[in-house]
Amino acid sequence: MKSVAKIALKLPPPTRSLSARLLVLTIVFVLVGEVLIYVPSIARHREDYLAQRIEKARLAALTVEAVPDAMVSEMLGHELLRHADVRAISLKRAGVRIFILAETMPHEIGATYDLDRVGIFGLIGDAFATFWNGDWESIRVFARSPKDAEEVLVDIVVDAEPLRDSMVDYSVRILVLSLVLAAITASLIYFSIHFLLVRPMRRLTLSLVGFQQDPENAATDVRVSNRRDEIGVAQRELRHMQEEVRQSLRRQARLAAVGSAVSKINHDLRNMLATAAVLTDRLALARDPEVQRLAQPLIAALDRAINLCTQTLAFTRAGTARLNLTSFTLRPLVEEVAADLLIQSEGRIAWRNEVPEALSVEADRDALFRVLFNLVKNAGEAMTNRNAAAGGANRAAEIMVRAASVGEGLTIEVIDNGPGLPSEARQHLFEAFSSAGRSGGTGLGLVIARDLVMSHGGEFGLVRTGPEGTVFRVTLPERKAENKAVP
């Protein structure tokens, strides 16, 4: 027996596989996320760098202010500027600017920034401006001193090159960290999704391909896990679909076998029935009234049997049958169905014929007999086999047939008080060889009945079913009697 592992399945190369695409996309998305984090963080790093220089400059200014007359030596001034990492310091207090320290050489100021009145987007723009303008020698920055009780504005001049070097170093560290995080995150996400999604999807794909190549091989069925997510639902639904398709294929194979068998025995069976019909016709000529009374139903039964062979052969092969449409009264036909039912049920089923006596119908009489007989026979068997199991052992089995003219058509309903159809039978009600949940049935009765009704241009279906009983309805359109081929 061929197994799933031996099924030839052409998978894409590793570089174009779903796993590779997933890995690449994960890395790209993580890096995009890191870029979105880097942009405001580099701006914040620049702001912190300048804020630290503001604080150092304020401390240097306090040192100068502590000296009498705020006069310090040139050497001490240079040391204070070097420790503060600035080129010039001035304070603005109560609207008066005071120069504290400054280098003797003039400085070219590339840009001036106010740290107290800039938002996040302004900080981002200033940070990238610092990157792009590499020719700036220095920049001027001022901000309010956060530790002073009174408002003191600290104004400094800072070298641009050390600031850029600090930002580049920070960017490199962020880049390395981003790559490490991207690799770790991508690996975790990749392996998680690979085991949670990619591998189960590959098994589903393998099962689908195997089932398509050999639907009769049960080894191609997908393995169902205990997962409760969408993958688990897909596994269970695919397994259910495979079982349903396999059963349908087996039913079709059985149907083909029955059609082949019926084709072979049809000729001989019709010859046998024709011989029996000839002998029955001779019985009908007898003068004994009792023999004549029994011969007439027997002749009608033989005629229906011959017609049944012909119609069954038409069902099991491609071709057409012809309906002999005539106008007749419906109630006597229902009584013939009842007669056959009472004989087969040995009087265990009560019968109610509520068809109006004057109601007539234009249809194929033999075909309509088969439709009603199949419905009545199924109802009788269901009540006989299941009445006790359904808790209705003390309830008398009863079948009722009623009919009425509705608009431009006619409706016929077959009603029983049986236990109702099980859910499995309702799902496969009109599938050949499903047997509608009954053991020993062929499952052709309702299929043939529906086809015969549809060949009249009518409708056939289940109205309701349950513990109180089952109702089937046949709807026939108003039409003139004519011979018409059944499609």
Which residue would you say has higher pLDDT here, 126 or 408? 126
Over range 399-407, report the average pLDDT: 89
Name the band, by pLDDT with cuts 50, 70 and 90, for residue 471: very high
Q: Please give the sequence-ordered ranges of beta strands (E in DSSP) within 297-408, or none if there are none.
A: 321-329, 350-354, 360-364, 398-406
Above 90 in pLDDT, residue 192?
A: no
> CA nearest 201: which of 6, 17, 16?
17
Over range 166-175, report the average pLDDT: 90
Query: 79 phi and psi, to 5 degrees?
Result: -65, -40
C-alpha–C-alpha distance, residues 476 and 457, integer Å = 7
Q: What is the pLDDT of residue 331?
A: 92
Over range 69-88, report the average pLDDT: 82
pLDDT digits (tens, 9 = 90+) for 220-248: 777 787 877 777 787 788 888 888 888 88
Name the band, by pLDDT with cuts 50, 70 and 90, for residue 411: very high
The listed range with the strongest mean pLDDT (98-112, 175-189, 217-231, 250-264) is: 175-189
State CA 47 to chain mean position distance: 53
Q: How much of the chain, in percent, has pLDDT values that exceed 90?
A: 11
Q: What is the pLDDT of residue 480?
A: 45
Over range 168-172, report the average pLDDT: 91
Identify the weakest region by mean pLDDT among 72-81, 211-220, 256-265: 256-265
Above 60 in pLDDT, residue 322?
A: yes
Name the band, by pLDDT with cuts 50, 70 and 90, for residue 304: low
Q: What is the pLDDT of residue 333?
A: 92
Which residue would you say has higher pLDDT here, 220 or 419? 419
Identify the weakest region by mean pLDDT among 130-134, 310-314, 456-460: 310-314
pLDDT digits (tens, 9 = 90+) for 5-38: 455 556 666 666 777 777 788 778 877 888 888 8
Q: What is the pLDDT of residue 15?
A: 67
Helix (H) or strand (E) holding 483: strand 483-486
| Token pair belonging to 455 | 């060949």
- Cα 455 to Cα 321, 369, 482: the distances in Å are 10, 14, 13
Identify the weakest region by mean pLDDT among 45-59, 304-318, 444-458: 304-318
C-alpha–C-alpha distance, residues 178 and 35, integer Å = 9
Please report, to the nearest 10 degrees, the dihedral formed by the alpha carbons of residues 304, 309, 313, 314 taken in order.
Answer: -10
pTM of the entire structure?
0.45
> CA nearest 238: which of 280, 272, 266, 200?
200
Q: What is the pLDDT of residue 197?
A: 77
Instruction: Please tell me the CATH code under which domain 320-487 is placed.
Output: 3.30.565.10
Name the band, by pLDDT with cuts 50, 70 and 90, for residue 474: very high
Q: What is the pLDDT of residue 390?
A: 46
pLDDT digits (tens, 9 = 90+) for 208-218: 777 777 777 77
Cβ contact 54:86 at 8 Å: no
Q: What is the pLDDT of residue 271?
A: 65
Decide: helix, strand or coil at residue 90.
strand
pLDDT digits (tens, 9 = 90+) for 272-294: 766 676 666 666 666 677 766 66
Give the chain's end-to-end CA distance (angstroms, integer).
Answer: 42
Q: What is the pLDDT of residue 485?
A: 40
Name the band, by pLDDT with cuts 50, 70 and 90, for residue 319: very low
Cβ contact 49:43 at 8 Å: no
Name the band, by pLDDT with cuts 50, 70 and 90, for residue 315: low
Name the band, by pLDDT with cuts 50, 70 and 90, for residue 412: very high
Q: Taking the domains of the chain in order of start, what are their residue ranges?
A: 14-186, 320-487
Which residue would you say has higher pLDDT here, 371 or 148? 371
- Residue 378, Cβ neighbours under 10 Å: how many? 22
Over range 114-123, report the average pLDDT: 85
> CA nearest 448: which of 364, 361, 328?
364
Q: What is the pLDDT of residue 343?
A: 67
Name the band, by pLDDT with cuts 50, 70 and 90, for residue 169: very high
Question: What rounded mean pLDDT belongs to the chain?
Answer: 78
Q: What DSSP designation does 219 have? A: G
